[in-house]
Amino acid sequence: MLEHVVDPFSMAKRLQDLLAPGGWLFIETPCAEGNGQNPYSLAHLYQFPTWVIRKMFPLPLKHFMVTPHYLHVFRKDAE
């Protein structure tokens, strides 16, 4: 969904703030470096390589995986 919002970095920050310690965050977005859905379609405001997604969700979130369908999984450290 981040490819559809005007300010994805603010959205990412807000999602992190809402996530409870020990909580999981699942982000699914087309990736500019992969194949599959066209990340350059008119409905997408942005394209995100994996390294940008990791920068958008820094520690205390840990990036666990990215799937072929551009699903990124993060977990917030328990306090």
5: which DSSP letter? S
- Chunk the chain into consecutive blocks of 10 residues (it has 79) and report each block's average pLDDT, rounded to whole numbers: 84 92 86 55 68 83 72 81
- What one-character-per-residue DSSP string does 15-46 give? HHHHSPTT-EEEEE---TTSSSS-TTSTT-S-
How many domains does the structure of the chain reveal?
A: 1
The structure's pTM equals 0.70
Q: Phi/psi at 17 (nearest 5 deg)?
A: -65, -35
pLDDT at 44: 63
**Structural domain boundaries, residue 6:** 2-76
Alpha-carbon gap, residue 77 to 79, rounded angstroms: 6
Residues 6 or more apart in contact with residue 13 via CB below 8 angstroms: none
